[in-house]
Amino acid sequence: MERYWMKKAKFMNIFICCAVLAGTILQCYAAKADSVEQERDTGEWWLQKPMRLIQTNLREIDVTLDIDIYMQQINKCEPDVVMINVGGIVANYPTELEYQYRNPRLRGDFIGTLVGRLKAKGIRVIGRFDFSKINETLAAKRPEWLYKGVKGEIVNYNGQVHTCVNGGYQQEYLFKILGEAVDKYPIDGVFFNMIGYQTYDYSMNYHGICQSDACRERFLKLYGLELPTVENPDDEVFRKYQDFRRKTSDDLFRRVKDFIKSKRSDVAVCTYTDAGVDIIRNESNSAFDRPLPEWNYSATDNVRTAMCSWRNKAIGNVAINFPDYRCRHSSVSPYLTELRLVGNMLNDGWLDYCVIGTLENQEDRLVLDNVHDIFGFHAQNEQWLTGTKPVADVALIKGGNRDEYKGLFRILSEEHILFDVISTKAIGRAVTPRPLEDYQVLVLPDIRNMSNAFCARLDAYVKGGGKILATGRTSTCDELGNPLGKVRLKSAGVEATFKVRPHIRGSYLRIRPEDKKLLKDSKLDALDIVYLDSEFLECEAVETTGKLLGYIMPAMFGPPERCYYTQVTDIPGLFYSKFGEGMVAFLPWQIGQHYRNRSHHGHSLLVKAGLEGLLKLERSLVTETSPLVEVNRRVSGDGKFEWLGLINHSGQNGTAFHKSIPIRDVALKLKSKGEVKKVQLLRAGKELKFSTLEDGWIKCIVPQLNRFEIVLYEYE
Ligand SMILES: [Zn+2]
């Protein structure tokens, strides 16, 4: 009995052509895992298979393009879906609406012609809209529709004026524009850019929380409060405002969905949220001002979160071609784009690639060979990429401290532990493809915000035999982020109250001989200490809880003659408790953040030993290959095959993404789900010898791994 499918979305990134709204609100949690078993509904076109999507992000000047040449270039990618700019900021069709700015270069019906040509080729079309801004000539007539900054100013950026989410344009007029486009053209989907509450312009000038009358009145009505003017997460009113943002944004998208479906149920709704959408959009992009390192796992992260959290949604995680939205005419390394596309493909996402303008006008086109290559592979191997579902051993929960999450994500990947990612928004709801009980272990990376129901759901999971590895301040805040000063997970095995030791450099944790006996990893024989570089919660164990690692008080670190510590305490850095039939390992500090920042082997080793030694994780895949090999496993819904997806992350050094270096002799031992009759390498295009061991274990060796491989196991 397996369930399926996905979803996700998080935070808000401004870069690009987009914006992501959402957050980590925990909606209604069922006290018990929903037991409704549903297969994925493949009746809708967007759920039939992972699609190949090309987005040509058309500029005003592109409405005069040569459609024959446009089609030639598009066809080289063999796309199932093309996304083009239809309306909102600029209407690329002869709109009859007073408040939609018509492209002054428009001659005839550009959208009508282009949609017709694409559809004649069997390609579906998603129309792109952007309601976050309105042309200044129209804005001047409707000031009540506009965003208002904290100084009372409107924002006019290159003639486009920011609109207010709660104003009449986004709340009402948007429906007129969408209605006109959907009535007029046989488009298959609508995509919205820059949704939600924007506080920056494209030059990254900060304008603050919208203070329009519409926002003020709605916030007052819903929360009985005046709008905050400062985005301060420590301010209770601001936390309520964040809740307001999420709820009103979600509300708008649910209304959009109802409206679109009332017109034509086969039109997909797509944007950067999970609320009310059929196709979640996310981005793997770069930005000059973003702190390094690049998040190499971006595509896997985005797609896996979506597909493991939300059944009956698809995800287009777009590989953005440019290195920064201020350099939209340049491309990132072809090998970075390749990595992003492969990450999408091997995690059941769509292939999704975006350029500014059209494919034929690209001035930095070295990447196009890589794009054609991956899109071509996808087209050739669709049968194996369609209808698969996740079967990982572990679920990493996403929705808290991003650095903590990234560090634990990378540890799991480097250790080749098969893991799904589930958004906190989906926990305990009927929307996840797999119930929590399907997983041997849940990893909670400093997941602070939890409703009481969420805590109860996790405790019930452990009581029934589940296992949790939790870190940092997990469960110490309510669902809005208000700190409660208590560890609320009863299964964590500690008293609720705790004392915070602030982040002071020079402190450590002692790994004692008795700890090593429990952690059971032979590498720990040569490791007695790890450094601590975060805050530390001093918790009290309840009676039956095991206490591991000893906190070492901040020590002198210079000069060398004075560099020794004197105080090793028995304050535990790792708790181990049995609760009901299950177990919990709790590290009351940010071990993932440590690994995210400096990749220290000791931190990684402690997490691995916590999972295997303490929690007795049983792996369904065993391999000794390089940590730079990422592994994913998918099983076909019809029980005919399964595959391991391998991604080779080598070729990267600092900010450079080069061609990956082949990795030889990747030995794989997999506990298969069926009786295997044949093993093939889809990328290398050859059959592989394998041996069958006891208990369904299948052993084989991949002789050479280039950028990626799919090791296909076909059953009898
Ligand atoms: Zn507003």
Whether the Cβ atoms of residue 582 and residue 466 lie closer than 8 Å to each other: yes
Query: Are residues 678 and 640 in contact, defined by beta-carbon separation less than 8 angstroms?
Result: no
pLDDT computed for residue 205 by the predictor: 93
pLDDT tens by residue, 561-577? 999 998 999 999 999 99
Backbone angles phi, psi at 646, to 5 degrees: -115, 135
Placement of tokens 């390089």 in the chain: 626
The closest of 377, 273, 384 to 9, measured between CA atoms, is 273
Q: State the CB neighbour count (10 A cutoff) for residue 265.
A: 9
Is pLDDT at 275 greater than 90 in this prediction?
no
Residue 268 has pLDDT above 70, yes or no: yes
The alpha carbon of 639 and the centre of ligand 1 are apart by a number of angstroms equal to 51
166 Cα: distance to centroid of ligand 1 (angstroms): 5
pLDDT on residue 40: 59
State in Å: Cα 141 to ligand 1 middle: 17
Ligand 1 centre distance from Cα of residue 540 (Å): 46
- pLDDT above 90 covers what percent of the chain? 91
Instruction: Confirm if 133 and 162 have CB atoms less than 8 A apart.
Output: yes
Does residue 637 surpass a pLDDT of 50? yes
Q: What is the 226 CA–ligand 1 centroid distance (Å)?
A: 13
Distance 13 CA to ligand 1 centre (A): 19
The percent of residues above 70 in pLDDT, for the chain, comes to 94
Between the CA of 219 and the centroid of ligand 1 the distance, in Å, is 10
CA–centroid distance, 214 to ligand 1, in Å, is 6
Quick check: 312 and 274 in contact, CB under 8 A? no
CA distance 616 to 674: 24
- Taking the CA atoms of residue 522, residue 526, residue 532 and residue 537 in that order, the dihedral angle to the nearest 10 degrees is 40
What residues pair up with 273 in beta bridges, in sequence order?
A: none
Q: How many angstroms does the Cα of residue 188 sit away from the middle of ligand 1? A: 31
For residue 423, the CA-to-ligand 1 centroid distance in Å is 28
- Which of 562, 558, 538 is closest to 550 using CA atoms? 538
Please write the tens of the pLDDT for every residue from 419-433.
999 999 999 788 899
CA of 668 to the centre of ligand 1 (A): 55
Q: How far is the CA of 174 from the centre of ligand 1 (A)?
A: 15
Residue pair 152/211 in contact (Cβ under 8 Å)? The answer is: yes
Q: What single DSSP character describes residue 267? A: P
Measured in angstroms, how far is the CA atom of residue 240 from the centroid of ligand 1? Answer: 16
* Sign (positive or negative) of CA dihedral 180, 185, 186, 189: negative
Cα(55) to ligand 1 centroid in Å equals 30
Kindly report whether the global pTM for this prediction surpasses the value 0.85: yes
Measured in degrees and rounded to the nearest 5, phi and psi for residue 224 equal 65, 25
Question: Read out DSSP for 334-348?
Answer: HHHHHHHHHHHHHTT
At 100-142, the pLDDT tens digits run: 999 999 999 999 999 999 999 999 999 999 999 999 999 999 9
- Give mean pLDDT, residues 358-363: 96
Residue 42: per-residue pLDDT:
64
Ligand 1 centroid, distance to 205 Cα (angstroms): 17
Q: What's the 160 CA to ligand 1 centre distance in angstroms?
A: 16
pLDDT band, residue 41 (cuts 50/70/90): low
- Give me ligand 1 centre to Cα 241, in Å: 12
DSSP symbols for 399-457: SS-HHHHHHHHHHHHHTT--EEEEEGGGTTSTTSSS-GGG-SEEEESS--B--HHHHHH
CA distance linking residue 324 with residue 337, whole number of Å? 14
Tell me the per-residue pLDDT of 368-426, one tens digit each, with 9 for 90 and over. 999 999 999 999 999 999 999 999 999 999 998 999 999 999 999 999 999 999 999 99
In degrees, rounded to 5, the angle at the alpha carbon of residue 264 between the alpha carbons of residues 261 and 266 is 90
> Are the CB atoms for 282 and 398 separated by under 8 Å?
no
Sole residue written with tokens 């971006």: 298
Cα 103 to ligand 1 centroid, rounded to whole Å: 27
